[in-house]
Amino acid sequence: MCGIVGYTGGQPAQEIVLESLKKLEYRGYDSSGIAMHEGKLVICKKEGPIANMEAELTESKSTLAIAHTRWATHGAPSDVNAHPHSDEEISIAVVHNGTIDNYLEIRESLEAEGHNFRSDSDSEILPLLISKYYSGNLVEAVNKTLDVIRGIFTIAAIHKDNPDEIVAVRNETPLVIGLGNSENFISSDIYAILKYTQEMIYPEDYQIVRVTSDKVEVLDRDLNLLDYNVETVEKYTEVAEKGGFEHYMLKEIFEQPKALQDSLTELLVESPLERLGLNWKIGSMSIVACGTSYHAGLVGKYVIEQLTAIPVSVSYSSEFRYAAPVQGVGGLLSSRPLVILISQSGETADTLAAARAAKQQGCHTIAICNVPGSRITREVDGVIITKSGQEIGVAATKTFMTQMQALYALAVNLAFNSGSLDHPQTKLWESEIRKIPSKVSQVLNNCESIRDLVPHFVKAKSVFFIGRNINYPLALEGALKLKEISYIHAEGYPAGELKHGPLALLSKDTPVVAIAVQDHTYSKLISNIEEISARKAPVITVAQKGDQLVPKISDHFFELPDIDPVLSPFPVAVFLQLLSYYIAHELGTEIDKPRNLAKSVTVE
């Protein structure tokens, strides 16, 4: 939440940081701002999307800039609460991502010293503190400020005395340094600066980084110079353009066959379990995640338990760390418990906290993540990288798909390893997994029939999604997608649970989306559809190719490609994503940037 970029080098900085900042808009879009050096510090900041701030800018020759896009925590979205913040003399400009826990007491003591605050933001204390401690050395001033503040943060500061220096530091929120040729960058993620460099440094918490155009220095809290690793990251295709699609979300939905295909190579490699350090008999497993990633985890539970008989519990990250310690089978750690953390961004605060709790309890931790080099990938024992490419739309789509795929591949590998699948069965599973991209494409090719369903939803105040067994998590995901981007209230339910309460809410104005695949729960689901129809609620069913019964008892019907029910979550997900997208489109909402949300949730 909140995105930061900075540049110092030989080129006009404004254009570079603006272009990079736009790639971080997924992290927040309440306001944005930029600080540059034109003999003195010049700051421009504006409420609303980056385009609002950009419209206020004039040409600049500054070769130094820091910029910020905000997701509001302290203080409403407004010009004055936008970053960069500065001291009264505008000698220092600071951008901040995160929250300062003790800002109120610091603010009171700064006010007592005669400082006037202009904003409601916790971040405004930072330039005032840095200015207070500044005596010609920005690194020292930032270091002294770190003695005083508590919280989570990435901070970047510039001073009017030096037109070629950015000082940055992080604690628990992301910061990468990009190395260029006589120019260097700072950023909240690699994607924002990948156009300019693939050489990255990932500073640790509380390491202070001094960036000039020809040097990057990393210092500890005693201001000793530290050695650092430079990592070369893979170049991803530029995603700045929507490629002819109206929204990133739609583009990303259509990219799913490719994302699945690209991830396959990584997932079905030789000896993946060894690479993940999974060389012991796993007695139990927990999957921990938030939001859409949690739903992928629920799907994973069904597949892993079915193929391996390893018991799997799935928890929300925000609950996991407060729950009782993870137990190995037969009591404390008799078999080392495995905890799989799923996070597309790799920086969700709740999931990071859960990862740390799991490690403290002696669990083996594995992350399924879409962002190489992200925080979680650096903290766990093993990493599965999904290769969806950058996802910009706040609603997770293609990353959900590859998370599920990763869990299926893991289940197959674990099953082979434990002997519950033999070699031919394993090969059969792998060949089924390889077919998923083409099944997903078939749904995409049929997108117009999904769009045709939109009129049955646009006037609804509430929509229910139901499924059973492996498609129950898909019902949850369908509801999350719809509420997130269309703002229509939606609930996902196990189909058998409606009669235990929610049936009271159904009427002709409450559409129900039923996922009916022909597994062992099919006949029960058919009964549930009948119960809903009897209450006059319209039923829109997604069912397997060739199903003769469902079209007769549903008001509307979408046919999935021919697929084994256990693989149905993939095409079902595409149906649900497109349905939500087309409904939101009809309602005219901000699909890529839904209100109140951000792509990376770095607060607990």
CB burial readout 152-176, b (16+ within 10 A) else e: bbbbbbbbbebbbbbbbbbbbbbbb
User: Mask of contacts with ligand M6R, 70-89, x by CB under 6 A?
Assistant: --------------------
Q: Which two tokens stand for residue 355?
A: 């990862």
Residue 301 annotated as catalytic: no
Q: Rounded to an integer, what distance in angstroms lies between the CA atom of residue 138 and that of residue 87?
A: 14
Q: Which of 108, 70, 79, 98 is nearest to 168 (CA)?
A: 98
Interaction residues for ligand M6R, span 573-602 (CB under 6 A):
601
* Residue 25 engages ligand M6R in binding (rule: CB under 6 A): no
Query: Scanning residues 475 to 534, which ones bind ligand M6R (CB under 6 A)?
Result: 480, 484
Sequence-distant (6+) residues with CB within 8 A of 46 are 31, 32, 33, 52, 53, 55, 56, 79, 82
Q: Between residue 255 and residue 284, which ones bind ligand M6R under the rule CB under 6 A?
A: none
Annotated catalytic residue, options 23, 301, 387, 599: 599
CB within 8 A of 428, min separation 6: which ones?
Answer: none
- Decide if residue 395 touches ligand M6R (CB under 6 A): yes
* DSSP β-ladder status, 285-289 and 312-316: parallel
Question: Measured from the CB of residue 511, what is the shortest distance to ligand M6R in angstroms?
Answer: 21
The sheet carrying 151-159 orders its strands as 85-86, 92-100, 151-159, 166-171, 208-211, 216-219
Distance of closest approach, residue 16 Cβ to ligand M6R, in angstroms: 27
Is position 351 an interface residue for ligand M6R (rule: CB under 6 A)? yes
- Position among 62, 173, 184, 345 found at the interface with ligand M6R (CB under 6 A): 345
71/134 with CB nearer ligand M6R: 71
- Residue closer to ligand M6R by CB (options 103, 202) is 202
Give the residue, chosen from 32, 81, 343, 441, that forms a contact with ligand M6R under the rule CB under 6 A.
Answer: 343
On the 0-12 / 13-18 / 19+ scale of CB atoms within 10 A, 530 is: exposed
Return the residue matching tokens 């799997």.
312
**Selected binder of ligand M6R within 64, 259, 290, 368 (CB under 6 A):** 290
How many chain residues interact with ligand M6R (CB under 6 A)? Answer: 15
Positions of E strands within 228-269: 231-232
Question: Could you tell me which stretch among 122-130, 259-267, 285-293, 537-545 binds ligand M6R (CB under 6 A)?
Answer: 285-293
Nearest to 192 by CA among 370, 385, 4: 4
Site stretch for ligand M6R (CB under 6 A), options 66-74, 156-164, 286-294, 461-469: 286-294
Q: Where does this chain touch ligand M6R (CB under 6 A) — which range of 290-298, 500-508, 559-567, 582-590? A: 290-298
- The backbone region for 555, taken as left when phi is positive above 0, alpha when psi lies in -120 to 50, beta otherwise, is alpha
**394 counts as binding ligand M6R under rule CB under 6 A:** yes
Listed ranges 66-74, 193-201, 345-353, 380-388: which one lies at the site for ligand M6R (CB under 6 A): 345-353
- Of the pair 28, 291, the CB lying nearest ligand M6R is at 291
Q: Which residue of 73, 86, 284, 293 would you call a contact of ligand M6R, by CB under 6 A?
A: 293
Q: Tell me whether residue 483 is one of the annotated catalytic residues.
A: no
Q: What is the DSSP letter of 80?
A: T
Give least dist CB 172 to ligand M6R, A. Answer: 15
Give the distance from CA 542 to its chain's centroid.
28
Site string for ligand M6R, 294-333 (x = CB under 6 A): ----------------------------------------
Return the structure tokens found at 141: 């001033």
Q: Is 171 in the site for ligand M6R (CB under 6 A)?
A: no
Q: Which residues of 437-451 are buried (b: 16+ CB within 10 A; e: fewer)?
A: bebbbbbbebbeebb
Q: Other CB atoms closer than 10 Å to residue 505's CB: what's the count?
A: 14
Residue 459, SS3? coil
Binding range to ligand M6R, per CB under 6 A, among 176-184, 190-198, 291-299, 452-460: 291-299
Given the rule CB under 6 A, which of 26-34, 180-188, 391-399, 408-416 is the region that contacts ligand M6R? 391-399
What DSSP string describes 216-233?
Answer: EEEE-TT--B-----EEP
Q: Which of 95, 126, 396, 591 binds ligand M6R (CB under 6 A)?
A: 396
Residue ranges that bind ligand M6R, judged by CB under 6 A: 290-293, 343-345, 348, 351, 394-396, 480, 484, 601
Active site members = 2, 599
